[in-house]
Structure 1
Amino acid sequence: MTIEPFDAVQLITIKRDKGELSTPQINWMIEAYTRGYIADEQMAAMTMAIFLNGMSRREIKDMTMAMIASGERMSYPGLGKPTADKHSTGGVGDKITLPLMPLVASFGVAVPQLSGRGLGHTGGTLDKLESIPGWRANLTNAEMLQQLKDYSGVICAAGSGLAPADGKLYSLRDITGTVEAIPLIASSIMSKKIAEGTESLVLDVKFGSGAFLKDIERSRELARTMVALGTDAGVNTTALLTDMNVPLGLAIGNANEVRESVEVLAGGGPADVIELTVALAREMLAMAGMPDVDVAANLHNGKAMDSWRQTIAAQGGDPDAALPVARETHVVLAERDGVLLDQLALPFGIAAWRLGAGRARKQDPVQHAAGIDLHAKPGDVVRKGEPLFTLSADEPARFARALEALEGSYVIGDAKDYVARGPLVAERITAN
């Protein structure tokens, strides 16, 4: 019989009473939970104690490194090119990974983008790409490495061997009201990203109505915590704080976000999607040793589009195939002349979810054609009877609940009452 060096109740009590856990205690806690010795109810008590009392920078670092140690750590031997990645904390209409990966890859920088699926009102990158006929998310490590060698970019699912402690802990946090704890968010995101093996990492940390954390101060704290974790682990890490009060772009959903991403890669698309894609690409390329390149040029000269087509085809997708189209649509019209004064991101995310674009449980399917297309953004002039937005779904019965979510989510008023928003990229955060 193995004698355990610590006991779970003792560690829960320390954190309950606002104490600090030692490095050996944290290492044991994560290892023992991963192998099933610490029960879910005990770890639930621990996550609540962390949620209420926080963790020191050293504790968060120890927890992150212990979660990395629970599984494999990837590397890219013989690649012969720098690696850079990006992670977004998620939002409404946030399809930036789709144009960003091929844009950065078109400069010869390898982008090993391990992505996830959506849950609730935030969409998942893999769900979006699975709108493309034939495209597959699951690659072996060998396939991923070969694609990075051949085309410099890949978007695929993270394997189960990458930080398995995080997968187990995340599922527990989701059902215990502790998802928003900054030490747990930071260690969850950074354990996977550090284990992924990238040399450089840019974090897109959202704030506002449609963000994971609504308050900019909390988002700033999360960004600083994650930048410190990456830096401490030897990964060149920066963060951009970006506004998610209004949906990003004009498309919310899966297939329609792919369409919008392709528009951006073709040199068009909404201004805010282009702005954020280029800003994040500049960060990634600068950290990869290319600070002076004309990033936007590759959206107009076809190089980013070539990269997109190559990487989609390499994963079995047909870049020329028609994307799914919903069987039913419902158009909402402007009830008066005026200016669109506001458009809250969260209700639009919830509405898209109710239309079938998202899932309530991880095992639920998504309807790839479901979603919302916006015809106006805040500051735009609108006319009575003109379309404001179009809802799409395969089942018309879904429209009522989606419209219910959108009540009070937008305001049309007089031009004199319009207040311009702050910058999309509010702040850049680097290591101290």
Structure 2
Amino acid sequence: MSTPTLSIPELIQKKRNNIPLSASEMKQFAQGAATGEIPDYQLSAFLMATYFTGMSFDETANLTRAMVESGEQYDLSKMKGAKVDKHSTGGIGDKVSIILAPLAAACGLKVPMMAGRGLGHTGGTIDKLESIPGYRVVLSKEEFTKIVSEVGCAIISQSKDIAPADRKLYALRDVTATVECIPLITSSILSKKIAEGAQGLVMDIKVGNGAFMKKKTEAMLLAKTLKAVAKRSKVELRATLSNMDQPLGYAAGNALEIYECIEVLKQADLNPYQLSSADLKELTIHLCAQMLEVGKIVKNYAQGRKLANAKLVDGSAWEKFKVMVKAQGGDVATLDEPWTYMHAEKVIEIKCRKKGYVTEMHTEALGRLLIQLGGGRNQVGVDIDHTVGFFFHKKL
């Protein structure tokens, strides 16, 4: 005898009362989210109920699988080379993916990267890449796989056909204060990565006052959950915990972060203030080494670091970045003169009134301020000003 299908209010009630949902109930919810059958107000209620009551591991795994199956799945098994992706939980000035994808590709990996827009107080890789004139973040399945196969990497926004349930929930989480929820974070990240066809995944889990995970214990629990759910889907996952008590690199803001990425990739001091990207470069090399290990390009982490650093220094990563940008419709000429295109008309210097040391940065507040200035969004679908941003002359 089959179990009767519950109504959506009954599913919400079960979750509110902390009663575990079955795999079939998770599938019902994910399909309803994907098709639009469940209205936003009920989806939002479910998200908030989950935020307060959480999910068991089985629920999280079942939701992830249901979200994968809510849309199309890419089969990259016939593509030569190891397919390894990277994902970050988000922070201020977190521009690693833009450097890392071409760097890993220059080292021999295939990087099929589907990235997101700004979420909560954090910036989004897609918003940053749209600072490059002409860069197309929306590609067909055929275009995406062709570029990954021929170039070695592509960074696109989530296709409307890939995990459409996540596409809907991701946007709602951003405007319903339900971002910081481990089951929702896990299912959102892994549903996209599994559906895009990645064989391996390296996670950069941010910890600190500018991250969604404020405490190390929370970040470790997220890492554990991600690893366990990924294992069920035969995806090898490595996790790194990185500090977000201050912005990463010297720039925050979409176009300015592209500018900093170009500087790192070109191995040149382009910014007029001679600011340092040492922390950004170090984290990128570290994550690339992990990706190369997962993809079996190198035998160990030390070899991975050596290869990644070599491909950055010899210009291979920079050349790969330009090829990727061109393949996705971007104006490569703007990359050679980024300052001409990537700064606001009005620049204000804010100076400290007395000498001293920076002992603390309110990193999340900086992200919120960026949104208030127009560099991010508080509502789904709102246009942003890509030129808005900050340069940080002093850090911790």
1:331 aligns with 2:356: no
1:346 aligns with 2:372: no
CA distance in 2, matches of 1:220, 1:236: 17
CA distance in 2, matches of 1:248, 1:51: 28
Is this contact kept in 1: 2:113–2:153, CA < 8 A? yes
Per mean C-alpha deviation after superposition, the further-off stretch among 181-190 and 240-249 is: 181-190
Percent identity of equivalent pairs: 39
How far off is 1:99 after superposition? 0.7
Q: Which residue identity lines up with residue 347 of structure 1 in the other structure?
A: A
**How has the CA–CA distance of structure 1 residues 258 and 48 changed in structure 2, closer, same or farther, with 3 Å as cutoff?**
closer
**How has the CA–CA distance of structure 1 residues 230 and 121 changed in structure 2, closer, same or farther, with 3 Å as cutoff?**
same
Q: Which residue identity lines up with residue 153 of structure 1 in the other structure?
A: C
The correspondence for 1:314, drawn from 313, 322, 327, is: 327
Paired residue secondary structure (2:183): helix
Match of 1:356 in 2: 374
CA distance in 1, matches of 2:125, 2:209: 20
Q: How does 1:139-288 map to 2 (within 5 A)?
A: 139-267=139-267, 270-288=277-295
Indicate the structure (1 or 2) with the bigger Cα radius of gyration: 1
**How has the CA–CA distance of structure 1 residues 124 and 44 changed in structure 2, closer, same or farther, with 3 Å as cutoff?**
closer
**How has the CA–CA distance of structure 1 residues 12 and 130 changed in structure 2, closer, same or farther, with 3 Å as cutoff?**
closer
How far off is 1:153 after superposition? 0.7
Deviations along 1:119-148, one digit per CA (max 9) or x if unpaired, are: 443112122112222222111111111111
**How has the CA–CA distance of structure 1 residues 112 and 355 changed in structure 2, closer, same or farther, with 3 Å as cutoff?**
same
Paired residue secondary structure (1:330): coil
CA distance in 1, matches of 2:375, 2:155: 20
Deviations along 1:12-37, one digit per CA (max 9) or x if unpaired, are: 34333332222223223323444455
Match of 2:271 in 1: none
Is this contact kept in 2: 1:118–1:124, CA < 8 A? yes
How far off is 1:179 after superposition? 2.7
The correspondence for 2:310, drawn from 293, 297, 301, is: 297
Deviations along 1:177-200, one digit per CA (max 9) or x if unpaired, are: 433222122112211111111000
**How has the CA–CA distance of structure 1 residues 170 and 125 changed in structure 2, closer, same or farther, with 3 Å as cutoff?**
closer
Q: Which residue identity lines up with residue 290 of structure 2 in the other structure?
A: E
Q: Which residue identity lines up with residue 353 of structure 2 in the other structure?
A: E
Which segments of 5 or more consecutive residues in structure 1 lack a partner in the other structure? 379-432
CA distance in 2, matches of 1:281, 1:147: 20
Per mean C-alpha deviation after superposition, the further-off stretch among 135-144 and 162-171 is: 162-171
How far off is 1:258 after superposition? 0.9
Match of 1:398 in 2: none
Is this contact kept in 1: 2:101–2:154, CA < 8 A? yes
Match of 1:8 in 2: 8
Could you say what the CA RMSD is over the residues aligned between the two structures, in angstroms? 2.0
**How has the CA–CA distance of structure 1 residues 19 and 107 changed in structure 2, closer, same or farther, with 3 Å as cutoff?**
same
CA distance in 2, matches of 1:197, 1:180: 26
CA distance in 2, matches of 1:35, 1:148: 29
How far off is 1:170 after superposition? 3.0
Per mean C-alpha deviation after superposition, the further-off stretch among 344-353 and 85-94 is: 344-353
**How has the CA–CA distance of structure 1 residues 126 and 34 changed in structure 2, closer, same or farther, with 3 Å as cutoff?**
closer
Match of 1:385 in 2: none
CA distance in 1, matches of 2:11, 2:385: 44
CA distance in 1, matches of 2:116, 2:16: 32
Q: Which residue identity lines up with residue 337 of structure 1 in the other structure?
A: K
Is this contact kept in 2: 1:119–1:361, CA < 8 A? no
Is this contact kept in 2: 1:6–1:28, CA < 8 A? no
Is this contact kept in 2: 1:251–1:373, CA < 8 A? yes
Q: Which residue identity lines up with residue 61 of structure 1 in the other structure?
A: A
| Structure holding more helix per residue | 2
Match of 2:272 in 1: none
Q: How does 1:384-395 map to 2 (within 5 A)?
A: none
CA distance in 1, matches of 2:366, 2:182: 25
Q: What's the TM-score once normalised by structure 1's chain length?
A: 0.82
CA distance in 2, matches of 1:48, 1:78: 41
1:374 aligns with 2:392: yes
Paired residue secondary structure (1:338): coil
Q: What's the TM-score once normalised by structure 2's chain length?
A: 0.89
Deviations along 1:38-64, one digit per CA (max 9) or x if unpaired, are: 454444443333222221111110111
Is this contact kept in 2: 1:247–1:344, CA < 8 A? no
| Structure holding more strand per residue | 1
Q: How does 1:17-96 map to 2 (within 5 A)?
A: 17-96=17-96
The number of equivalent residue pairs is 376
CA distance in 2, matches of 1:331, 1:95: 23
Deviations along 1:325-348, one digit per CA (max 9) or x if unpaired, are: 211111011222232222231222
CA distance in 1, matches of 2:134, 2:38: 41
Per mean C-alpha deviation after superposition, the further-off stretch among 62-71 and 20-29 is: 20-29
Paired residue secondary structure (1:339): coil
Per mean C-alpha deviation after superposition, the further-off stretch among 142-151 and 195-204 is: 142-151
**How has the CA–CA distance of structure 1 residues 107 and 326 changed in structure 2, closer, same or farther, with 3 Å as cutoff?**
same
CA distance in 2, matches of 1:311, 1:367: 24
CA distance in 1, matches of 2:52, 2:342: 45
**How has the CA–CA distance of structure 1 residues 109 and 54 changed in structure 2, closer, same or farther, with 3 Å as cutoff?**
same
Q: Which residue identity lines up with residue 345 of structure 1 in the other structure?
A: T
Q: Which residue identity lines up with residue 352 of structure 1 in the other structure?
A: L
CA distance in 1, matches of 2:279, 2:329: 30
Match of 1:123 in 2: 123
Q: Which residue identity lines up with residue 191 of structure 2 in the other structure?
A: S
CA distance in 2, matches of 1:112, 1:302: 21
CA distance in 2, matches of 1:34, 1:140: 19
